[in-house]
Amino acid sequence: MIPRDFEYYAPKSIPDALGLLKQFGDEAKLLAGGHSLLPMMKMRFAQPGHLIDLGKISELKGIREEGGTIRIGAMTTENELIWSKLLQAKCPLLVEGARLISDPQVRYKGTIGGDIAHGDPGNDHPAMMLALGASFVLRSAAGERVVPADGFFVGTYDTLMKSEEIMTEIRIPTPAPGTGYCYAKLKRKVGDFATAAAAVMLRMNGETVREVAIALTNVGPTPLKARAAEDSLRGKALTDASMAAAGELAMSICDPAVDQRGDAEYKTAMAGEMTQRALRMARTRAGH
Ligand SMILES: Cc1cc2nc3c(=O)[nH]c(=O)nc-3n(C[C@H](O)[C@H](O)[C@H](O)COP(=O)(O)OP(=O)(O)OC[C@H]3O[C@@H](n4cnc5c(N)ncnc54)[C@H](O)[C@@H]3O)c2cc1C
C-alpha cells in the first residue's frame, strides 16, 4: 500500500526537531532508519501528517565512553555498533546482538534508538538493554530525563516515552573486564526476527556466580527480565543442573504471541533453550 500524504522535515539540530514536534503534536512522527516506521506507514498503521527526519542531526550519532559509562547516540546504526572498536573491546554483547539483526540493508540504516523506541518485543536491542542495565536519555522542550531500560517497555509498541520526546542517547555502565556475555537467538532463517532469544551478562567469583542478568526477546508483550532465573543462580555454582533450572524459571514468565514462528509451547521451550545456551557461552567467555 501507499502511505498517506505527509510533509517531510530534516532539522539539523535537536532544538529544531523538538520545535517541530511541539508544533505538530500527535500529527508528527520521528523518522530514524525507517525500517519499522515506513512499513507501518505503508500498511497505514501509522499515518503521520508530518515526518521529522533525525538523520541530519550529527549530535545524535556516535559511541564514546565517559567515566565508566558507554554513551551511544540514538541515531547510531547497527553497522556502526558492529564496527565500533570500543564496543568490540568493552561491550561485545551489543556487537554480537547487532550482527544478528536482519540483513545488511537493514543494518546500514536501522538505528539503535529506533529499535528501542519502536517498542516491538521482537526487536533485539530491548532485551540486550535490560541485560546491560542501560538507561535512555529522553529530551523534550521542557528538559531532559534519564529512564532505566528496566520499566521502560510497558506493552507491545508501547514505552514510557512521550510523543513530545526524542531519545537522544543510550547509556550503558561499562561491563567489568572478564564479564561473560552472550546473545543467543533462534531464528528460522537469516534476516528473520527471533523465534526466541536470550541476552546474558555474567560475572563469576571463582566457581560461583557473582552477578548475572538474563533478558528474553519475543516471548511476551515486552522484553522480559528473567528475575527468578537470575536469583536462582546468584552465589551458586553454574552447573548443567542449575542452568537447566534457570531455563525452566525463564520459561515460567513467557507469554508469547502465536504466529508463523510457532505456537506458545514451542516458543516458550525455545526461550528456555536459548537461556541455557547463552548461560553456557557466557560461562566460557567468563573463563570457566
Ligand atoms: C526485513 C526486516 C527484518 C528485521 N529484523 C529485525 C531483527 O531481527 N531484529 C531487530 O531488532 N529488528 C529487526 N528489524 C527492525 C529494524 O531493526 C528497524 O530498523 C528498527 O526496528 C527501527 O529502527 P529504525 O532506525 O529503522 O527506526 P524507524 O523505523 O525510523 O522508527 C521506528 C519508531 O521509533 C521512533 N523513533 C525512532 N528514533 C527515535 C528517537 N531517536 N527518539 C524517539 N523516537 C524514535 C519512530 O518515530 C518510530 O515510531 C527488521 C526490519 C526489517 C525491515
DSSP 118-183: T--TT-SHHHHHHHHT-EEEEEETTEEEEEESTTTEEETTEES--TT-EEEEEEEEPPPTT-EEEE
pLDDT on residue 271: 98
111 pLDDT more than 80: yes
24 CB under 6 A from ligand 1? no
Measuring from atom 52 of ligand 1, which residue has the nearest CA? 35
Please give the average per-residue pLDDT across 246-267, as a whole number.
Answer: 97
Please give the average per-residue pLDDT across 192-204, as a whole number.
Answer: 97
Grid cell digits, residue 189: 532463517
Please give the average per-residue pLDDT across 16-24, as a whole number.
Answer: 95
58 pLDDT more than 90: yes
Compute, in angstroms, the gap from residue 59 CA to the centroid of ligand 1.
Answer: 19
Strands 50-53 and 7-9: parallel
Query: HSE-up of 243 (CA within 13 Å, CB side)?
Result: 17
1 pLDDT more than 90: no
Question: pLDDT band at residue 191, thresholds of 50, 70 and 90?
Answer: confident
pLDDT on residue 57: 98
288 pLDDT more than 90: no
37 CB under 6 A from ligand 1? yes
Question: pLDDT band at residue 114, thresholds of 50, 70 and 90?
Answer: very high
113 CB under 6 A from ligand 1? yes
Compute, in angstroms, the gap from residue 33 CA to the centroid of ligand 1.
Answer: 6
Count the residues in the chain.
288
CB 117 within 8 A of CB 123: no
Question: pLDDT band at residue 258, thresholds of 50, 70 and 90?
Answer: very high
Task: Identify which of 151, 137, 232, 218 has the alpha carbon closest to the alpha carbon of residue 183.
Answer: 218
Ligand 1 atom closest to 117 (CA)? 34
Please give the average per-residue pLDDT across 79-94, as a whole number.
Answer: 98
Sign of CA dihedral 212, 218, 223, 226: negative
Grid cell digits, residue 128: 540486550
Q: 221: exposed, middle or buried (C-beta count within 10 Å: 0-12, 13-18, 19+)?
A: middle
The count of other CB atoms within 10 Å of the CB of residue 52 is: 24
Site to probe by mutation for ligand 1, drawn from 14, 36, 45, 108 as the one with most ligand atoms within 8 Å of Cβ, is 36
The separation between the first and the last C-alpha atoms of the chain, rounded to the nearest angstrom, is 53
Question: pLDDT band at residue 173, thresholds of 50, 70 and 90?
Answer: very high
Q: What is the pTM of this model?
A: 0.97
